Amino acid sequence: MTYLLGLTGSIGMGKSTTAKMFTDLGCALWDADAAVHRLYAAGGSAVAPMAEAFPDAIVDGAVSRDRLRQIISDDPTALRRIEQIVHPLVGFDRRDFIAAADADIVVLDIPLLFEGGNEKGFDAVVVVSAPEDVQRERVLARGTMTEAQFEAIKAKQMPDAEKRARADHVVVTDTMEHAAEQVRAIVEAIREQMRDA
């Protein structure tokens, strides 16, 4: 039996670092963002349908995320059409990964898990969280976006308090040691539950 554990959290909460902690404990990890990158890469299964719907989005045989951003900003209906193409392909990628995984726990890293109404089908969901000042500091320290861009992204995401309330487990990433301790406790509890099942 494979235990399906959803992993989510808002921008700057430490989700990637936490995901690695799960893999360090022998869990398999499927990453939704990485799946989209594979689908958009040259030879990826999203390239042909996207080329048909949005020919301007294709550069050197791959889907250009920069071009897609431009298309979405020029045409408010584009995002919905892109999602209709990409979401089913991401679903197939996830299904194939789960079928091939040989780990007892499969962690599915999905940034907008609650926002997309995707919490069904998991045995449990983990939300990665941090204090708001820590979140802001982490994101702005990356140097990849302005404070206004950070606020715009945050506004589109479900508030952290609501995510925590809907989660089965919360990992607070105030320090690496504390986060690792919480991840270890979650994995141990799941494995014990699986032994008793």
39: CATH: 3.40.50.300
Residue 184 has pLDDT above 90, yes or no: yes
End-to-end, the C-alpha distance of the chain in Å comes to 10
Pairing of strands 62-63, 58-59: antiparallel
Measured distance CA(44)–CA(86) in Å, rounded: 11
Mean pLDDT of 76-101: 94
Query: Is residue 144 located within the same domain as residue 181?
Result: yes
Query: Is residue 34 located within the same domain as residue 96?
Result: yes
Tell whether 117 is covered by a domain.
Answer: no
Report residue 98 as tokens: 């789960």
Tell whether 7 is covered by a domain.
Answer: yes
Which pLDDT belongs to residue 95? 95
Tell whether 159 is covered by a domain.
Answer: yes
Measured distance CA(105)–CA(159) in Å, rounded: 27
CA angle 169, 175, 176 (to 5 degrees): 80
Residue 152 has pLDDT above 90, yes or no: no
Beta-carbon neighbour count of residue 85 at 10 Å? Answer: 17
> Could you tell me the pTM of the whole model?
0.90
Domain count, the chain: 2
From 56, 86, 102, the end of a domain falls on 102
Domain of residue 21: give its range.
Answer: 1-25+126-192
Query: Is residue 70 located within the same domain as residue 136?
Result: no
From 67, 102, 137, the end of a domain falls on 102
